[in-house]
Amino acid sequence: MLKMNNISKVYQTEMVQTHALRDFNLNVEEGEFIAVTGPSGSGKTTFLNIAGMLEPFSSGEYLLDGIDVGKLNDNQRADLRNQKIGFIFQGFNLIPDLNLYENVEVPLRYRGIKAAERKRRIEQCLEQVGLASRAKHLPQQLSGGQQQRVAIARALAGEPRFLLADEPTGNLDSLMARQVMELLEQINRDGATIVMVTHDAELARRAPRNIQVVDGQLADFTLYQGKPNVAVGA
Amino acid sequence: MLEIKPIINALLRSKVGAVLLLIQIAITTAIVSNAAFIINDRINYLNQPTGYEEENIFKFNVMTFGTGVDLIQQIELDEDRIRQLPGVVDAVQISAIPLSGGGSSTSFRLKPVPEKSKSVNASYFETDEHGLNTLGVNLIAGRNFTQEEVVINRDFTKYPNVALATKALMDELYPDGDGLGKTIYTGDKPLTIVGIIGMMKGPWMKLEERKDKSVIIPMLDPSKLHQFLVRTESGRRAEVMTQIEDLMHESYDKRVIQDLTGLDKKKADYVAEDLLMMRMLVILISVLVLVTALGIFGLTLFNINKRTKQIGTRRALGARKSAIIKYFVVENSLICIAGLVLGVCGAVFLGQQLMAHYSVPALSYWYVAVTAVAVFAMSLLAVIGPAKRAANIAPSIATRTI
């Protein structure tokens, strides 16, 4: 599903060269639910951005569903993001001037899906997250947990095979965080591959596979086995 | 995919900036279309044909303070001496200067007073048989009056019985075009029209009812302050003008030469206010359009800064750069179209008010249409730069906490 080989990311300024990721290798199989943890500044967000094609990498190879991302132009990357990836952001990133229905509709419009099909999908996804009755509400009329559920509905609407979640419960209290996590687990059981960046160890333990990013490199653990199963750079 | 519906919904939910811009566009359209129409009206007015070689004609006043001189004899002598100057085509003493803003007018009638009759107001010039040639205007029918027909008069006991008239005047008095040879009246005095002149502006260019209607009457009625008109060969006016004062004083020095001025300069002085108004309007239009363009530019930049994260999120969700540009262009176009609808109504209303209160001609709707198209094009130009800037916002901004 996702394969990164020797990915490096270097941020270059006039004075300093910062290696955000170095020789990063990762293989994610279809249907996996992976939690990515690591200290601040370790490179988690850079990994997420590269995995989601939100920023280019400096060297290496990245295959998403067999497609060599490094060879795509900006438009092709945008189209691939739209078709294959659903994003869930820490700050929800809902558009404040659009109601819930219109927010969920955004990625579908970019894909050029017809209005009737859009309507079907939006209603289905809002139903799935339990907010169908509030489709006409604006984001600011909802609680944080509800907003994150709308963001999940938006991520699901495009029927992506791959969900990237950036601290999806970071702005939520523990009850809401648990609800969101249960929703993600359900989505994973329904077949979606999920990579979730989090610094919440308890949340990470609920994921079948954990990886840790330290100084731009990867340590891979499978927590339920109680020990690392892949060495750094695996 | 133009996203029109969600953009309209979003604008309706957060409308202050959009409404301000809309009002600005409406005001610009209303004012610019009317100002452009007035400017064009002024340009037509300033460039209207006069019938004169303005750059080859000049005038001057003679103020005689000496006594014991026979003014009529002196004028005939002066005219002869000026005509002898190299480069002079003709010269004449005349009662009014064309295009100067100052002259005389009266009513010309088909029947003498007190009989009821059609009456047309026209300017008139009193001069001798050299007047036609000095003015350089075109006689399109009939003949010039002769020296014998010129009345030299001090006390109005004699009045000429022939005259020349412009076609514009004769067409109004005789719509069938058979005015040549007919007698018209000023008061109860008959004048037989022996010649018809083509284009010849009177002293006034802006008085619509009489600017093209003039009569040349063969009469000399000089006072101590009288004026001469001189036409020179092409390119020799300045050379002739420098010799006038000396020439006049050589034959009689108890007089002052004043206002030695080219006809083009007289006209420029006369239309100076109109020219100033036109320039002010051009500046007003330019400033308004610039302010509106800056308004659109500024509002779009403000929107981009306000929505940086939103734009990044849209990019992350699959928007191509072109979709972001399109979003801002469509949003701006929707505001602009609403502003233009309001502005077009405002322009028509303003045009009607100007016509009612300031005698401005009826606004041509072409000006409103062209202005609306131009304002729309300007708004597109103003938004495209900021929209491109928005499109270059990296999608990775979506994952940053800002």
A149 in any annotated domain: yes
Pick the residue from chain A with its C-alpha nearest to B15.
A97
**Is B398's CB within 8 Å of A89's CB?**
yes
**Is A138's CB within 8 Å of B13's CB?**
yes
Which structural domain range is residue A216 located in? 29-56+67-228
A193 in any annotated domain: yes
A210 in any annotated domain: yes
Q: How confident is the model at residue B243 (pLDDT cuts 50, 70, 90)?
A: very high
Check residue B1 and give its pLDDT.
Answer: 59
Q: Tally the C-alpha atoms within 13 A of residue B402's C-alpha that lie toward its C-beta.
A: 13
Q: How confident is the model at residue B47 (pLDDT cuts 50, 70, 90)?
A: confident
A189 in any annotated domain: yes
Give the integer Cα–Cα distance in Å for B363 and B360. Answer: 8
- pLDDT tens, A16-28? 888 899 999 999 9
**Is A78's CB within 8 Å of B309's CB?**
no
- pLDDT tens, B180-189? 999 999 999 9
A214 in any annotated domain: yes
- pLDDT tens, B192-234? 999 999 999 999 987 666 789 999 999 988 788 899 999 999 9
Percentage of residues of chain A with pLDDT beyond 70: 94
Pick the residue from chain A with its C-alpha nearest to B313.
A93
Give the integer Cα–Cα distance in Å for B50 and B53. Answer: 8
Provide the ipTM: 0.90
Check residue B303 and give its pLDDT.
Answer: 81
Above 90 in pLDDT, residue A173?
A: no
Q: Chain B: nearest CA to A226, how far in angstroms?
A: 31
* Interface with B, mutate which of A109, A154, A198 (most B CBs under 10 A): A109
Pick the residue from chain B with its C-alpha nearest to A136.
B9
Above 70 in pLDDT, residue B106?
A: yes
Give whole-number Cα distances, A100 to A153, B149, B322, in Å: 9, 96, 25
**Is B318's CB within 8 Å of A98's CB?**
no
Above 50 in pLDDT, residue A231?
A: no
A11 in any annotated domain: no
Backbone angle region of A233, left / alpha / beta, with phi > 0 → left and psi within -120 to 50 → alpha: left
Above 60 in pLDDT, residue A70?
A: yes
Domain count for chain A: 1
Per CB-CB distance under 8 Å, the chain A contacts of B309 are 91, 93
Per CB-CB distance under 8 Å, the chain A contacts of B401 are 90-91
- pLDDT tens, B279-317? 998 999 899 889 988 988 888 888 888 888 999 999 999
Q: Chain A: nearest CA to B327, how far in angstroms?
A: 11
Above 70 in pLDDT, residue A46?
A: yes
Q: Which of A45, A49, A107 sits opposite B317 (nearest CB)?
A: A107
A52 in any annotated domain: yes
Per CB-CB distance under 8 Å, the chain A contacts of B315 are 54, 78
Q: Give yes or no for B2 touching A (CB within 8 A).
A: no
Q: Which of A75-84, A196-205, B8-17 has the highest mean pLDDT?
A: A75-84
Q: Which of A96, A110, A138 sits opposite B319 (nearest CB)?
A: A110
Above 50 in pLDDT, residue B114?
A: yes
Q: Average of pLDDT values for B43-47?
A: 87
Pick the residue from chain A with its C-alpha nearest to B321.
A75
Taking residue B343's Cβ as centre, other Cβ atoms within 10 Å add up to 28
> What radius of gyration, in Å, describes the C-alpha atoms of chain B?
32
Q: How confident is the model at residue B400 (pLDDT cuts 50, 70, 90)?
A: confident
Higher pLDDT, A139 or A174: A139
| pTM for this model (two decimals) | 0.75
Q: Quick one: how far is CA A174 from the chain centroid?
A: 20
Higher pLDDT, B292 or B402: B292
Give the integer Cα–Cα distance in Å for B217 and A217. Answer: 107
CB B257 within 8 A of CB B245: yes
Chain B stretch 295-354, residues whose beta carbon is closer than 8 A to a beta carbon of chain A: 309-310, 313-323
CATH number for the domain that contains residue A171? 3.40.50.300
A122 in any annotated domain: yes
Q: Which of A93, A106, A110 sits opposite B309 (nearest CB)?
A: A93
Give whole-number Cα distances, A137 to A144, B189, B202, in Å: 14, 90, 74
Check residue B124 and give its pLDDT.
Answer: 96
- pLDDT tens, A91-150? 899 999 899 999 999 999 999 999 999 999 999 999 988 899 999 999 999 998 899 999
Check residue A229 and give its pLDDT.
Answer: 41
Of B203, B130, B118, B187, whose CA–CA distance to B164 is shortest?
Answer: B130
**Is A106's CB within 8 Å of B317's CB?**
yes
Check residue A232 and give its pLDDT.
Answer: 39
Q: How confident is the model at residue B143 (pLDDT cuts 50, 70, 90)?
A: very high
